[in-house]
Amino acid sequence: MALYSEKVMDHFRNPRNVGVIEDANAIGEVGNAKCGDIMKIYLKIENDIIEDVKFETFGCASAIASSSMATELIKGKPVSEAMQLTNKAVAEALDGLPPHKIHCSVLAEEAIQKALEDYYNKQGE
């Protein structure tokens, strides 16, 4: 069996939503101290809906695929729904990750959580 699913390879080779949102109203950045990978998520939220999302990930193939899939999963969704996104859902949407690569999907969950926290902080909630 191949180490990575076709979906992981697809999102690694053709990542969706790569880049920066200049007028983002929420940003979340996280890193993993062990592997040194860094993920940054930009959100453009209007009326509590995630109108746009982009990411910059300096990391492994699984981290890039996880960022890409996570952004696809929250795009167009209400903030309350994006809050519920788990790394498990990201890994499942990618048809699985090898056990030693699960932490890469955790990075995506954390980056989105952090961006949403930033959104709420800016709103004074």
Q: How many residues make up the chain in this entry?
A: 125
d(CA 32, CA 21): 23
Closest distance of CB 124 from ligand FES, Å: 33
User: CA-CA distances (angstroms) from residue 74 to 2, 35, 78?
Assistant: 28, 26, 8
In the complex, least distance from residue 106 CB atom to ligand FES, rounded to whole angstroms: 8
- Residue 60 annotated to the active site: no
CA distance readout (Å), 109 to 15, 27, 31, 79: 17, 13, 12, 14
> Is the Cβ of residue 47 or residue 100 nearer to ligand FES in the bound state?
100
Instruction: Give the separation between CA 92 and CA 116, rounded to whole angstroms.
Output: 22
CB of 35 to ligand FES, least distance (A): 3
Q: Which is nearer to ligand FES, 54 or 103 (CB)?
A: 103
Q: Is residue 104 annotated as a catalytic residue, yes or no?
A: yes
Footprint of ligand FES (CB under 6 A): 32, 35, 37, 59-60, 62-63, 101, 104, 107
Q: How far is CA 13 from its chain centroid?
A: 16
- Nearer of residues 62 and 68 to ligand FES, judged by Cβ: 62
Catalytic residue among 104, 107, 112, 116: 104
Catalytic residues: 35, 104
